[in-house]
Amino acid sequence: MAEDTSSTASNNTIPFPTLTILYLPAEAESVIEEISQKYYNITVEDCKGFFHGGVQRQYKKVTIWSQGIDSLWFNAIIASIKDLANVEYVPIVSGGIMYSV
């Protein structure tokens, strides 16, 4: 007699982390250290972008893999980035949607 394993497979599902991507202007790269102390599963890549005024600029693309981002901490990081880079907004990707905060 064959054993039904369909319900067993669904009970062993691994919860997938979400990813959040921040595009930090190079002037704010010092924030990366603070991010890495809070979230260990991150990657950082150099890139060029045209996010602020359509002018080419150097960015650090920081991808954070986590089960969720602490919103108070995240708001403080965004404020630091804006201050250090002297920008009005920071481009981010969260939940598969790109927007600026």
* Rounded distance between C-alpha atoms, residue 90 and residue 52, angstroms: 9
Residue 47 vs residue 18, higher pLDDT: 47
Rounded to the nearest integer, the mean pLDDT of the chain is: 88
Sheet with strand 57-66: strands edge to edge: 42-49, 57-66, 18-25, 91-94, 97-100
- Find out whether 64 and 42 touch, Cβ atoms under 8 Å: yes
* Rounded distance between C-alpha atoms, residue 66 and residue 27, angstroms: 25
- From residue 66, alpha-carbon distances to 25, 33, 52 in Å are 22, 17, 27
Lowest-pLDDT choice from 4-13, 23-32, 57-66, 85-94: 4-13
Lowest-pLDDT choice from 5-9, 26-30, 32-36, 74-78: 5-9
Which domains are present in the chain? Answer: 15-100 (3.30.70.120)
Q: What is the mean pLDDT of residues 63-76?
A: 92
| pLDDT of 41 above 60 | yes
